[in-house]
Amino acid sequence: MANRGPADPASTPPGPSIAERLGQARRLLTDDLTGVLVSAREAYGPIVDLTMPDGTPGVLLAEPTAVQHVLETNAENYRRASVYREELSELFGDGLLTSEGELWHRQHRLIRPMFGSGSVRSFTDLILTETEAMLDRWATRSEPIDLLREMERVTLSIIGKAMFSADVEAHAETIRAALETLRRGFQREVGVVPTAPEWIPTPHNRRTRAAIDDIDAVVYDLIEARRGEADEYDDLLSKLLTARTDDGERMADEQIRDELVTFLLAGHETTAAALTWTWYLLANHPGVHRRLHERVAEADAITDAVGFSAGTAGDASFVKQCVQEAMRIYPPVPVITREAEDCDEISGYEIPAGSEVVLSQFVVHRDPDLWADPLAFRPERFAPGAAEERPAYSYFPFGGGQRMCIGRLFALAEAQLILARVVRDVRLRLRSPTHDTPAVDSAVTMVPDEPIEMAVTDWV
């Protein structure tokens, strides 16, 4: 194990040898990314040199103060890393997830009001209605449900109606299939194995282009269907269609498309992942599951169970604590990457200009130095006042700083309402997998890499 003693001023972080880096690169081709990062943290400490075999400088920062430095303290020095600019931008264009500078600021100012606490609470009835429709579907079937697919279906329906006032149910399978293609083709090994430019018609590039074309067809249909009727709606799509630039120009269709794709895809997949892992953990902890059911059943209404009626957005609710703890163990976004524009120094280590900086929620959230028995599912870790005992950025499922996820309030409210409404009436019992630790895929978001099947049963 590497020496973890005090660092020399501006020294290079500890890390694997050149030979070990080649082995690490091979692992990235076949293993889950988070497994590689956890191994690096265990071997070398919270700050690790991840320079790739091709010489691309990189560093893992799995220490709360270092994460805060990148996302807040010196955030102006860290731009979106190449994985965003080159890989994700092919799908999301210049949407909020991938844009930079003045464009990002302008779009953020325009879209932010849609995700304030008041706006989020206005979607309560919609979320509950869609959840009840899901329960009705479940009532007519006897076989187990594919949990991730069900969560993706309901969250996609909710985001479509909340943000675009549109029923996207007919497009659900098209979107799911396209996302699966993009997920499987996403190059986690950026900087390890050169990939062909997108204009070269390789099989990978053809599949990627076809998947993006399928999503574009759905989104441009939404835009055309609303054209000329934008004043009749008060949703994100209408705000984008009626927005004006500083020069008085309307937003280009391409920019509207980029924002719609960002919210349509990122806005439902992360919440679906969070709910999937929450149900999985509850099924494996029947005592916590029953306690949650009893808390919800005792409330006069679902909104009371999650604390919305008191205007607290569920800050003290056990429902929220269960969701937060699930996102700690299985963060929907397990890794954030940034690129250092200029040289920097973090915790005594030099960060060269151009370094790919890896901030991993997955690694930090499971750090035994920060969380006692970190793999144990204990929602009470998020009881009122508990967070005050932990350092900032020991928990950051939505990122942090200026670019913290704009939809975090919506996502948390949606997850709580769906969880509370379902757990009140039915119990989900795990049917597969039967082994203790399911395989995970963290190429973009953290989802199970094998079906999580649940039997829908009554509470007895």
pLDDT greater at residue 244 or residue 191: 244
Summarised one tens digit per residue, pLDDT across range 214-223 is 999 999 999 9
Residue 460 has pLDDT above 90, yes or no: no
pLDDT of amino acid 191: 39
Residue 71 has pLDDT above 90, yes or no: yes
pLDDT of amino acid 30: 55
pLDDT range class, residue 316, cuts 50, 70, 90: low
pLDDT of amino acid 4: 45
pLDDT of amino acid 8: 53
Summarised one tens digit per residue, pLDDT across range 291-300 is 999 999 999 9
What are the two backbone dihedrals, phi and then psi, of residue 212, each rounded to the nearest 5 degrees? -65, -40
pLDDT of amino acid 193: 46
Summarised one tens digit per residue, pLDDT across range 7-61 is 455 689 998 887 787 776 666 655 568 888 999 999 999 999 988 777 778 899 9
Instruction: Give CA–CA dist 112/12, Å, rounded.
Output: 40
Strands 356-359 vs 58-61: parallel, antiparallel or unpaired: parallel
Residue 80 has pLDDT above 60, yes or no: yes
Domain ranges of the chain: 18-458
Summarised one tens digit per residue, pLDDT across range 104-117 is 999 999 898 888 88
pLDDT of amino acid 3: 43
CATH number of 18-458: 1.10.630.10
Omega before 384 cis (within 30°)? no
C-alpha pair distances (Å), 11 with each of 30, 49, 79: 32, 11, 23
Average pLDDT over residues 423-444: 90
Residue 312 has pLDDT above 50, yes or no: no
pTM for the predicted model, two decimal places: 0.91
Average pLDDT over residues 314-321: 79
Average pLDDT over residues 175-200: 63
Q: If DSSP codes are grouped into helix, strand and coil, which group holds residue 358? A: strand
> Which of these ranges, 53-57, 83-87, 260-264, has the smallest mean pLDDT?
83-87
Residue 346 has pLDDT above 90, yes or no: yes
Residue 284 has pLDDT above 90, yes or no: yes
Residues with Cβ within 8 Å of 251's Cβ and at least 6 positions away in sequence, in order, are 240, 241, 243, 244, 245
Q: In this structure, are residues 93 and 258 in contact, taking their beta carbons and an 8 Å threshold? A: yes
Instruction: Give CA–CA dist 336/373, Å, rounded.
Output: 24
- Of the CA atoms within 13 Å of residue 235, those in its CB half-sphere come to 21
Burial readout 295-308 (b: 16 or more C-beta within 10 A, e: otherwise)? bbeebeebbebbbb
pLDDT of amino acid 86: 65
Bridge partners, 426 (sequence order): 458
The average confidence (pLDDT) of the chain is 87
Residue 228 has pLDDT above 90, yes or no: no
Q: Of 409, 408, 405, 361, which is closest to residue 96 (Cα–Cα)? A: 405
Rg (CA), the chain: 22
Bridge partners, 440 (sequence order): 448
| Sign of the alpha-carbon dihedral angle for 34, 37, 334, 387 | positive
The pLDDT > 90 percentage for the chain reads 58
Joined tokens for residue 359: 């901030």
Helices (H) and strands (E) in the chain, counts: 19, 12
Q: In this structure, are residues 420 and 296 in contact, taking their beta carbons and an 8 Å threshold? A: yes
Summarised one tens digit per residue, pLDDT across range 363-401 is 999 999 999 999 999 999 999 888 788 999 999 999 999
Average pLDDT over residues 177-186: 76
Average pLDDT over residues 236-260: 88
pLDDT of amino acid 29: 53
pLDDT of amino acid 245: 73
pLDDT of amino acid 5: 46
